[in-house]
Amino acid sequence: MRLPTALLIAATATLPGCGALSALQGEPDRDLFELRAPAALSCPRSRVGELVIEPPKARGTLDSNRIMIRPSVLQTQYLPDAEWGDTVPAMLQRLLVESLGATGSFDHVGRAPLGLSGDVAMISEIRDFNVNLSPDGTLIRLSVEAQLVEEMEARVIARRSFAATVAAASTRTSDLIPAFDAATRQLIGQMTAWTLTTAGVDPDTCRRS
């Protein structure tokens, strides 16, 4: 899909071409970007031993490594010369495993249980992970619906919606990616604190590692 001319020029002006392999395959050159989890927390032990982070669900336009632009509520486009290093769901799952595993509150945090099932699983759905263009400016908008499920009983023990919005200075990729990073660290921080609280750990008792 084509971006508006102004956005296309702004995005491509900041992206050096470096994709020899993609060029050989007939793909456009795209720089790869990864996002970070928030600073690691060291926390007390929880009452949950094993925590499984299921792959987040996402609609087809988000289940991709392309960086989504929303010029309007009915239109989806992508940055032409930049992409994530993994699909959005896989990236979010990795960041949650990293953030929650670093707390030391759980015996195991992973993408799959060590045995037949874990104690608690996080099931989530990504609603927004995109750039929103509006007369008010350029906003990074992320939102996720999440549930914590007791696996043996197949019982939902907590559910919550999470959202983070960060303004980007412009539509240039050099401004969009840091804004995505800031919003993602906010979102993962919110989800980590909620999971700890549900597992019986007061996030205020944690300290920066």
Closest listed residue to residue 152, CA positions, set 8, 62, 48, 55? 48
Angstrom distance (rounded) from CA 152 to CA 197: 20
Backbone angles phi, psi at 12, to 5 degrees: -70, -25
Q: Please report the pLDDT score of residue 43 as a whole number.
A: 97
Q: Is 176 helix (H, G, I), strand (E, B) or coil?
A: helix
Domains of the chain plus CATH, in order, are 45-198 (3.40.50.10610)
DSSP β-ladder status, 120-134 and 108-110: unpaired
Is residue 31 a contact partner of residue 80, using CB atoms and an 8 Å limit? no
Amino acid letter, residue 84: W
Q: Please report the pLDDT score of residue 26 as a whole number.
A: 55
Sign of CA dihedral 52, 192, 205, 198: negative
| pLDDT tens for the 209 residues of the chain, in order | 334 433 433 333 333 333 333 333 456 789 999 999 999 999 999 999 999 999 999 999 999 999 999 998 889 999 998 999 999 999 999 999 999 999 999 999 999 989 877 899 999 999 999 999 988 899 999 999 999 999 888 899 999 999 999 999 999 999 999 999 999 999 999 999 999 999 999 999 999 97
Q: Please report the pLDDT score of residue 15 as a whole number.
A: 36
Is residue 58 a contact partner of residue 128, using CB atoms and an 8 Å limit? no
